[in-house]
Chains A and B, each alone.
Chain A
Amino acid sequence: DAGVTQSPTHLIKTRGQQVTLRCSPKSGHDTVSWYQQALGQGPQFIFQYYEEEERQRGNFPDRFSGHQFPNYSSELNVNALLLGDSALYLCASSGQVSTEAFFGQGTRLTVV
């Protein structure tokens, strides 16, 4: 049983560019949440998708957007990248039966 998978694992982008990160949830999970973890900090909630809709959103600007597909996989898009967007981006999936969240290994984004 594959767990949560994220791609790519590492990424380097230039300021002003746009990036798309991808996540496939654990089998049987229908809810996907995205988190940003800056160095030395805990993960910060960006948003959550359920039934292809954004269900909750954290305190992140509109440059951060997402999407969930019918197969429950999800994308995180960040436009107009800033140096401060450099972080580990984590995807977590959960289901309706068990609410435990399982995390992917993350995508490490570096903006230069």
Chain B
Amino acid sequence: RKEVEQDPGPFNVPEGATVAFNCTYSNSASQSFFWYRQDCRKEPKLLMSVYSSGNEDGRFTAQLNRASQYISLLIRDSKLSDSATYLCVVSQYGNKLVFGAGTILRVKS
């Protein structure tokens, strides 16, 4: 079983749609949680950290449920520029990042 599991998609959505991605992690010792965005053939870039209380950054909302070991990302009012691979990431001791395989999002006009 992979340490971080994501639905690979692809999710094909029209502009303006709301889309949600889910992720589960197996290591209960995980301390920090993130969503990264990766464009085709580029490096991953931090989209947002995820906190137990939930947090929002513009059109993006992230949630963490430590009891269920579950992380989510909600994107509202999707833009063409949101098309990318979204990587769910957990961190344990010492900034070692453990990545999921990623969820592909394609936003179409």
Please report A residues at the B interface, Cβ cutoff 8 Å.
31, 33, 35, 40-45, 48, 50, 55-56, 58, 88, 90, 92, 94, 99-101, 103-106, 108
Q: Name the prevailing secondary structure of the B interface residues.
A: mixed
A44 and B99 in contact (CB under 8 A), knowing A55-B94, A56-B94, A99-B32?
yes
Are A40 and B43 CB-contacts (below 8 A) given A33-B96, A45-B96, A94-B95? no
Interface residues of B (CB under 8 A from A): 4, 32, 41-46, 87, 91, 93-102
A90 adjacent to B95 (CB under 8 Å): no
CA A56 – CA B94 in complex, angstroms? 8
Q: How many A-B residue pairs have CB under 8 A?
A: 53
Consensus secondary structure, chain A interface: strand
Measured in the bound complex, the distance between the Cα atoms of B94 and A101 in whole Å is 11
B99: A residues at CB distance < 8 A? 35, 42-44
- Are A92 and B94 in contact, CB atoms less than 8 angstroms apart? no
Task: Give A92 to B32 CA distance when docked, in angstroms.
Answer: 16
Q: Is the CB of A106 within 8 A of B95?
A: no
User: Which of B44, B45, B94 has a CB less than 8 Å from the CB of A48?
Assistant: B94
| Contact across chains for B95 and A31 when beta carbons are under 8 A apart | yes
In the complex, what's the smallest C-beta–C-beta distance from A104 to chain B, in angstroms? 6
> Provided the pairs A40-B101, A42-B4, A42-B100 are in contact, do residues A33 and B95 lie with their beta carbons within 8 angstroms?
yes
Instruction: Decide if B96 touches A103 in the complex (CB within 8 Å).
Output: no
Given A41-B101, A42-B87, A42-B100: A48 and B43 interface contact (C-beta under 8 Å)? no
In the complex, A103→B46 CA distance in Å?
A: 9
Taking CB atoms, residues of chain B closer than 8 Å to A50 are 94
* CA gap between A4 and B72 in the complex, in Å: 29
Determine whether the beta carbon of B97 is less than 8 Å from that of A100: no
